[in-house]
Amino acid sequence: MSHAALVETNFLLQDMVESAQAAILILDATMTVRYANLAAAALFGALPEAMVGRRLALSWPRDAVEEGGGAGRVAPSRRVGTLMGEDEAGAPVLLTVQVIDAGGGAGDGCLLCISTGGAEKPPDIARLEYLATHDPLTRLLNRQSLFDRLQTVAALCQRGGARAALLHIDLDRFKPVNDTLGHDAGDELLRQVAQRLRAALRQSDTVARIGGDEFILILTDIHSGFDVEAIARKILDALAADFSIRGRAVFISASIGITLIPEDGTDAAVLVRNADMAMYKAKEAGANTLRFFTAEMNERAARRLELEWGLRAALEQNRLRLRFMPIFDIRDRRLVAAEALLRWDHPERGLIGAEAFIEVAESSGLIVAIGEWMLGELIDALADWRDRGLPPCQIAVNLSLRQLRAPDTFVRAFERMQARHLPPHLLEMEIAESVLRDGSPTVLQSLETIARFGVSLAIDDFGSGYTSLRLLKRFPVRSLRIDRIFLRHQRIDREDGLLMRAMIAMANSLGIPIVGKGVETDGQLAFLRSHNCDHFQGYLASQPLDRAALEALMAGPAD
């Protein structure tokens, strides 16, 4: 057997012993503990590391003592038998014993003690039990086993004054490995990560895979946060070294969230949630870093959850509203289009702008349902305006990256437009320039779907990122919106002016109309007009309007 196979077998056996539900002890000749798994430690009310060196009050049953044996010593001629004692609650404990020679002669052996009746389980039952408690890919503990062990450790910390820590590890840059090298390579990488995690930990620590590229560690016998940070940084260094996958060097890193036990809690679900919040803070701070859980994170998460629940209720109770920001021709200030804006009619805070909740809508996935609602409202409005004889007015609505990854929602809206015989150009999909950087097949297919239905595209916040000219030519881009950051000052400075002139010139050369956003002064408007900008929007001409006010603007001045 190769060295690597021996190492893997050793890890497997160690995991099986540590995660066994049966209490397993190794004692020396004086009944002093040399090793205890978690189940054995829990039986006697201590952490595993606290058990080592502890002398237990165990003895051979009176009717089983052979000559030369006795309480508190190894029975020299006994190979298999039982020991009796009491657990933490004073209840009788019966341990099945195997005497192992330690090489020092009679009386110097070791005892391997197991708290079951000694009846060996059939191999198929043992295998099913192992699969029920372990991740089959990495052979680490699975989520349920992790929670069971965590609850035991937390309870022991709460009762005995010990300290422990929970680490939530999420791999950085794992998805590109799966996407470029395939899922088999991704699986191999996860197996190698599991091996490195086990190698970086002590025997008393626990490592589990809870799904995908996420792992959780339980560190026991912790004296301070500095101890935890040292171990966490050791893990970051171990994972930052290159992996060999199919003969190729692969580089990843990790983000680690840490919560302390019992300081941050003693409930398993709470501890996992704490570590998860800290891990996401580490993600936000950049790759290959760690963060400790703080009460502020919990408060922030509670506010986000409350906001999400309120937003769900708003969608169900029809408390979302549309407002319209008019877009005007820059030469004669004629209305040419309008941008649909989302508002939340909050029962306590009044009308709330989308900037206060859009990030929560995105992260929770609610943006998909909200986007479908917006499109339905806009299609109804377009049909109503046509039926009432109002002049046509193109309406632009923003599509997020998450919506582009769920194209069924806007495809249903386009089909609804066709069924009501509405010209597709009356609807324009605004896509942030940053979205085009995604470049995933799903996003490109969604853009092609929009083009196939004849719906216009607009690139929003143009100039804030990178837009390929090839994409501008490939898709029906009918408008570019200059990012409002270029008009952030009362007077446009030289650098912003040069950039804006270049963007307007490029758009003019491609025949794509360009809209200046955030126009608030006559000077800004004059600058845009002098450099051949086509349209503008901003508080200089109009604030966001409700539907009735927009309809009045569409109808024009009364005769």
- Which CATH number is 107's domain given? 3.30.450
Dist. CA 407–CA 413, nearest whole Å? 10
Q: Map tokens 């996407």 to a residue.
A: 179
Helix (H) or strand (E) holding 432: strand 427-432
Same-domain pairing of 286 and 359 = no
The answer to whether residues 43 and 26 touch, using CB atoms and an 8 Å cutoff, is no
Residue 475 located in a structural domain: yes
For 388-405, give the DSSP string.
TTPPP-EEEEEE-HHHHT
Longest Cα pair distance anywhere in the chain, in angstroms?
120
The answer to whether residues 173 and 245 touch, using CB atoms and an 8 Å cutoff, is no
Same-domain pairing of 355 and 384 = yes
Beta strands 514-516; 535-536: pairing state? parallel
Domain that holds residue 263: 123-293
Give the tens place of pLDDT for each residue, 58-87.
766 654 444 334 444 555 445 566 777 766
Q: Look at residue 437 in the predicted model and tell me its pLDDT.
A: 66
CATH number, domain at 508?
Answer: 3.20.20.450
Question: Domain boundary at 74, 92, 114, which?
Answer: 114
H-type alpha helices, 476-540: 494-510, 522-530
The answer to whether residues 271 and 324 touch, using CB atoms and an 8 Å cutoff, is no
Q: Map tokens 């006697």 to a residue.
A: 44
Same-domain pairing of 162 and 251 = yes
Q: Look at residue 176 in the predicted model and tell me its pLDDT.
A: 85
Residue 9 located in a structural domain: no
Residue 3 located in a structural domain: no
Question: Domain boundary at 114, 133, 164, which?
Answer: 114
pLDDT band at 168 (very low <50, low <70, confident <90, very high): very high
Same-domain pairing of 110 and 148 = no
Q: Look at residue 69 in the predicted model and tell me its pLDDT.
A: 43
Residue 167 located in a structural domain: yes
Same-domain pairing of 108 and 128 = no
Provide the domain count of the chain.
3
Question: Quick one: average pLDDT of 218-243?
Answer: 90
Question: Quick one: average pLDDT of 439-465?
Answer: 79
Same-domain pairing of 103 and 129 = no
For the chain, how big is the Rg over CA atoms in Å?
33
Residue 305 located in a structural domain: no
Closest CA to 253 of 207, 290, 278, 225: 290
Q: How close are the terminal C-alpha atoms of the chain, in Å? A: 95
Lowest mean pLDDT among 48-62, 67-81, 282-296, 420-434: 67-81
